């Protein structure tokens, strides 16, 4: 066995090994946690955090309270109270990674809006706006929340690029197909450790899959989002580094629609969506409508991923968010992103990509971004 082969075997063993260390917890920023009157009886709850984290918000009765659950946060420090509407804020650790802040209310309040913002410096701020409610209004809000019950988990399709007779990029004997498959397994496990996510892989093994088959598998699993994993390589070694996230470009969308028309006219197979038996004009209109929804969702997730990766201190490319015309991004019905995890041809990237720590941190940051994305979508629904 050559030295390289030994390295590869070793790499594959830890790429698929179990228990991963947890990422450093996010911190509550000093003096930036407050519940305060904001005029007209409204109350604003702000929490400054060292990075964006997954969160949930709900209300409960007995005593009436607003609960914010944060994941992966070290909650030292106090929440300052500058309102008479809240009597006290309790802090309860509810799981290995989850903590609840429970604001006990003196009078009924209802949630007007709630949002986790990522700031330019990589820190985050949770803003919750509350407004006075009648006792009936408060009970109605509780009942609506109860009726919703436990939400269905977000189904995420993870697509490890290449495989089988298509090894993808190769560098120094390392195949892109193997690297992304190892990371995909780790990412799936990190996502599935969170009950609110159900992650599936489009390929489990080193097998060749067409792009159609990848999208079909994602659809069969009921995927609400598709993340395709790749690693780049450049002829110039060390010419570029860091993570790049691609989404479908507006121009690519137009081009895809055009190509669709051409393909359809020539009875060719469609690569991205099955519209057989549907009139061309209608199908194009549907496709455009569908993309009008999924493209902004993909852009929003891309922004959240960049925020989470930066927050976790991961190395990003100088142009981390890009648009491209990759076929795997063209599913009109599923928001899709393609992540180039780094450049195999760059020494530092190669070291990172094959390091367990980097893989764990990247997987956890990806999970956090998906949770944030999901929470905001569900609040907006």
Query: Could you list the residues that contact Zn ion (CB under 5 A)?
Result: 161, 168, 230
Least Å from the CB of residue 85 to Zn ion: 54
**Between residues 230 and 291, which has the closer beta carbon with respect to Zn ion?**
230
With CB atoms as reference, the residue minimizing the distance to Zn ion is: 230
Strand partners, 58: 67
Furthest C-alpha separation in the chain: 75
Least Å from the CB of residue 240 to Zn ion: 15
CB 130 within 8 A of CB 111: yes
Give the count of beta carbons closer than 10 Å to the beta carbon of residue 289: 10
Structure tokens given for 17: 């090994």
Least Å from the CB of residue 139 to Zn ion: 54
Structure tokens given for 50: 């060292």
Least Å from the CB of residue 177 to Zn ion: 8
**Between residues 51 and 162, which has the closer beta carbon with respect to Zn ion?**
162
Strand partners, 303: none
Least Å from the CB of residue 230 to Zn ion: 3
Q: Is 76 helix (H, G, I), strand (E, B) or coil?
A: coil
**Between residues 206 and 376, which has the closer beta carbon with respect to Zn ion?**
206
CA–CA dist 28, 33 (Å, integer): 7
Alpha carbon distances (Å) from 14 to 7, 125, 194:
11, 36, 22
CA–CA dist 180, 233 (Å, integer): 13
CA–CA dist 168, 175 (Å, integer): 7
CB 371 within 8 A of CB 71: yes
Give the count of beta carbons closer than 10 Å to the beta carbon of residue 381: 5
Least Å from the CB of residue 186 to Zn ion: 18
Count of residues making up the chain:
381
**Between residues 230 and 330, which has the closer beta carbon with respect to Zn ion?**
230
**Between residues 230 and 310, which has the closer beta carbon with respect to Zn ion?**
230
**Between residues 161 and 307, which has the closer beta carbon with respect to Zn ion?**
161
**Between residues 185 and 310, which has the closer beta carbon with respect to Zn ion?**
185
Question: What 8-state DSSP symbol labels residue 230?
Answer: E
Q: Which of 65, 48, 71, 363 is nearest to 196 (CA)?
A: 71
**Between residues 109 and 338, which has the closer beta carbon with respect to Zn ion?**
338
Give the count of beta carbons closer than 10 Å to the beta carbon of residue 356: 14
Least Å from the CB of residue 30 to Zn ion: 43
**Between residues 25 and 161, which has the closer beta carbon with respect to Zn ion?**
161
Strand partners, 235: none
Q: Which of 257, 265, 229, 239 is nearest to 325 (CA)?
A: 257
Least Å from the CB of residue 166 to Zn ion: 9
CA–CA dist 241, 362 (Å, integer): 15
Least Å from the CB of residue 161 to Zn ion: 4
Classify residue 286 by burial, with Cβ atoms within 10 Å: 0-12, 13-18, 19+.
middle
Q: Is 225 helix (H, G, I), strand (E, B) or coil?
A: strand
Task: Tell me if the bond preceding 118 is cis, omega within 30° of 0.
Answer: no
Least Å from the CB of residue 181 to Zn ion: 12
């Amino acid at each position: 066995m050559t030295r390289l082969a030994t390295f590869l075997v070793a790499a594959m063993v830890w790429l698929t090994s179990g228990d991963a260390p947890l990422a450093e917890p996010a911190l509550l920023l000093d003096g930036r946690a407050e519940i305060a009157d904001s005029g007209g009886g409204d109350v604003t709850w702000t929490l400054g955090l060292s990075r964006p984290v997954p969160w949930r918000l709900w209300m409960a009765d007995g005593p009436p309270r607003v609960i914010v659950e944060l994941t992966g946060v070290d909650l030292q420090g106090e929440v300052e109270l500058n309102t008479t509407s809240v009597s006290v804020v309790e802090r309860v650790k509810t799981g290995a990674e989850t903590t609840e802040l429970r604001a006990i209310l003196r009078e009924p309040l209802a949630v007007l809006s709630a949002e986790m913002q990522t700031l330019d410096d990589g820190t985050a701020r949770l803003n919750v706006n509350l407004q006075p409610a009648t006792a009936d209004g408060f009970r109605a809000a509780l009942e609506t929340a109860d009726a919703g019950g436990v939400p269905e988990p977000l189904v995420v399709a993870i697509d490890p690029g290449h495989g089988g007779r298509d090894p993808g990029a190769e560098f120094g004997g390392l195949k892109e197909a193997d690297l992304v498959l190892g990371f995909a397994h780790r990412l799936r496990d990190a996502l599935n450790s969170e009950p609110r996510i159900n992650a599936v892989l489009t390929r489990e093994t080193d097998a060749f899959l067409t792009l159609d088959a990848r999208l079909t598998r994602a659809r069969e699993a009921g995927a609400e989002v598709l993340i395709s994993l790749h690693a780049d390589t450049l002829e110039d070694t060390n010419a570029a580094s860091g993570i790049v996230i691609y989404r479908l470009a507006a121009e690519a969308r137009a081009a895809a629609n055009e190509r669709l028309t051409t393909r359809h006219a020539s009875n060719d197979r469609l690569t991205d969506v099955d519209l057989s038996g549907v009139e061309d004009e209608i199908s194009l209109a549907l496709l455009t409508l569908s993309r009008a929804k999924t493209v902004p969702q993909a852009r929003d997730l891309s922004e959240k991923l960049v925020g989470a990766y930066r927050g976790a201190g991961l190395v990003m490319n100088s142009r981390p968010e890009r648009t491209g015309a990759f076929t795997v991004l063209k599913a009109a019905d599923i928001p899709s992103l393609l992540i180039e995890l780094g450049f195999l041809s760059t020494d530092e990237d190669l070291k990172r990509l094959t390091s367990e720590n980097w893989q764990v941190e990247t997987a956890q940051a990806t999970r956090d971004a998906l949770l944030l994305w999901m929470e905001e979508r569900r609040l907006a629904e």
